[in-house]
Structure 1
Amino acid sequence: MKNYWMLIPILFLFVFQPSNSNAQQKGDPMFQVPLGIASYTFRNHWENGVEETLDIIQSLGFTEFEGGAPAGVSPEDFKQMCAERGISIPSTGTGFDQLEKDPMAVADRAKALGASYVMCAWIPHKVGQFSKADADRAIQVFNQAGKVLKENGIVFKYHVHGYEFQPYEDATLLEYLIENTDPNVVKLQMDVMWTHFGGGDPAALLQKYGDRWVSLHLKDFKKGAPKNLTGLTGPENDVPLGEGELDFPGILKEANRIGIKHMFIEDESEHELEALPKSIAYLKSLRY
């Protein structure tokens, strides 16, 4: 009896330790954000009708769309078509050239869509030979354009595409690019497949750069298919989520930990209508 007093501090810590409301519990879903789709997935559909394509997107359960208005449709009209189907457009894209020449026009188009983010997915370079000079050009453009976009209430993000993993000094040109862009005006979007394709570890990079990452593109890569530093591969190597090489549980755990709020499935195969339901079911099946 005389030694029971030694247990009091331990019992106090156990009983009165504050709970973490954000802590994940066993059985919680790993996919915890709105279901998003990248517009490139439906590249072969828009010509068959914009509203018809949006109907397909709605029927699959997507509530967030990343992209711009298809040819012949104004941003305002496209935003309305999406809204009528319960779909928002949190993010849109831009080409590097327009970002370099007229970032204000990029901001205006994003605002017309109701988007809060603008992403750029490709830095001009000779395929397979991304260089420090290419990265330096991008750093200058991203910092300047990112400032303009931020002044207009838009967040700029660079979409990692895999070719940036060229070695540089003791690291890679991706790390050089990230560390030399202004974190206040340049954020990042990880395409998990392209990151893997270029030799990167998606979960480790999410952990390393934390809140620089604001969104993900989710797609998987065929087991055993060849990889390189071009940022280019055939549609036959795009497989439904969970059927390829990527560790989605590890990626989603880290993405949740750092607070990623937007994740867009991007299917680059030629069988997207067959693959998407499989990918969605897989994401929803993942549990802690």
Structure 2
Amino acid sequence: MTGAPYPIAYQLYSSRNFPPLEAQLPELKAMGYDAIEPWLPAYEADPAAFRRALDDAGLACFGFHMPLTGLMHEPNRYIEIAQTLGARYMIPPFVHEEERRPTADFWKGIGEALAKGAEAAAPHGLKVLWHNHAFEYAPLPDGTRPIDHILAAPDVYFEIDCGWITRGGADPAAELARYADRILVIQTKDLAPEGTTAEDGWAATGDGVIDWPALAPLFRQTAAHHLCTEHDNPSDWRRFAKRSFDYLRSAGL
């Protein structure tokens, strides 16, 4: 494995239960993080003030999570937010369960909506990425997978979440290879051993069951710009953040 260490971002959703968020920023910088990846509503009230807090802490924002409906119905608003935050990646992360339909056409429509947003974003130097959960890997009645229909759309890129892929019963190594040219961000979410209920079954990167040494060489074969740590429900956000960062650096990533 060759190449300079990746920039590493921290998904701020991980520590949403430990406000105030802005007080976390200098600590994340001190741990070594290069950037944060915010989610709505962290930046919504005042994107300019949020950007100043990032600048004061010495952190960047490479990309941010945003609602799919925002990309579809308010693209200019979120393009402006991206420019304010200094971000290059606009990342819708979810389709609510009650909205999902078990048909290929539905998921092709999600891809088409992302592609339309990407078309609006491109003149501003921005890219649109999809962030996966587990549901995109559950086969539809016709045997196809939602993720493949979403990423079949032109100019739709990928923030791949290795933890959710594993929880969804798929193989992150295969997905890293399949979508190597679409992957611009790699989330290094880890899973605790099966049956673990603490922290909703998640773990700090390197403390779980995912074989990161086996996956790490595949990272270099993708178009990834950076890595991003995330944990959906840590009991101690500082321990999670530091352990994950230190593990990735110790692995040469």
TM-score (norm 1): 0.78
The alpha-carbon deviation at position 158 of structure 1 amounts to 0.3
| Residues 193 and 221, structure 1, Cα contact 8 Å, conserved in 2 | yes
The runs of at least 4 consecutive aligned structure 1 residues that moved more than 6 Å come to: none
The alpha-carbon deviation at position 277 of structure 1 amounts to 2.1
The question of 1:60 aligning with 2:31 is answered yes
The question of 1:286 aligning with 2:226 is answered no
CA RMSD, 1 decimal: 2.5
User: Mapping of 1:128-277 within 5 angstroms?
Assistant: 130-168=102-140, 169-179=142-152, 181-182=153-154, 185-225=155-195, 235-268=199-232, 269-277=234-242
Shift in alpha-carbon separation, 1:125–1:135, aligned structure 2, 3 A: farther
The question of 1:114 aligning with 2:114 is answered no
| Residues 29 and 57, structure 2, Cα contact 8 Å, conserved in 1 | yes
Tell me how far apart the structure 2 counterparts of residues 249 and 41 of structure 1 sit (CA, whole Å): 23
Tell me how far apart the structure 2 counterparts of residues 286 and 155 of structure 1 sit (CA, whole Å): 29
| Residues 130 and 163, structure 1, Cα contact 8 Å, conserved in 2 | no
| Residues 159 and 187, structure 2, Cα contact 8 Å, conserved in 1 | yes
Other structure's SS at 1:146 match: helix
Tell me how far apart the structure 2 counterparts of residues 43 and 74 of structure 1 sit (CA, whole Å): 17
| Residues 123 and 134, structure 1, Cα contact 8 Å, conserved in 2 | no
Q: 1:217-241, CA deviations, whole angstroms, 9 ceiling, x for partnerless residues?
A: 1111011238xxxxxx983311121
Q: 1:177-201, CA deviations, whole angstroms, 9 ceiling, x for partnerless residues?
A: 222x11xx21011011001111121
Other structure's SS at 2:181 match: helix
The alpha-carbon deviation at position 77 of structure 1 amounts to 2.1
- Extract unaligned runs of 5+ from structure 1: 1-22, 227-232
The alpha-carbon deviation at position 251 of structure 1 amounts to 2.1
Q: 1:50-79, CA deviations, whole angstroms, 9 ceiling, x for partnerless residues?
A: 2x2212222222111111573675222221
Tell me how far apart the structure 2 counterparts of residues 284 and 45 of structure 1 sit (CA, whole Å): 25
| Residues 96 and 124, structure 1, Cα contact 8 Å, conserved in 2 | no
The question of 1:97 aligning with 2:62 is answered no
Question: What is the match of residue 7 of structure 1?
Answer: none
Which 10-residue stretch deviates more, 76-85 or 87-96? 76-85
Tell me how far apart the structure 2 counterparts of residues 71 and 88 of structure 1 sit (CA, whole Å): 13
TM-score (norm 2): 0.88
- Extract unaligned runs of 5+ from structure 2: none
Other structure's SS at 2:10 match: strand
| Residues 124 and 134, structure 1, Cα contact 8 Å, conserved in 2 | no
Q: Find the structure with the greater CA-based Rg.
A: 1
Tell me how far apart the structure 2 counterparts of residues 72 and 136 of structure 1 sit (CA, whole Å): 29
Shift in alpha-carbon separation, 1:102–1:127, aligned structure 2, 3 A: closer
| Residues 146 and 186, structure 1, Cα contact 8 Å, conserved in 2 | yes
| Residues 116 and 153, structure 1, Cα contact 8 Å, conserved in 2 | yes
Other structure's SS at 1:134 match: helix
Percent identity over paired residues? 19
Other structure's SS at 1:246 match: coil
How many aligned residue pairs are there? 250
Q: 1:111-170, CA deviations, whole angstroms, 9 ceiling, x for partnerless residues?
A: 111101110100233388654353133122111111101122210000011101121445
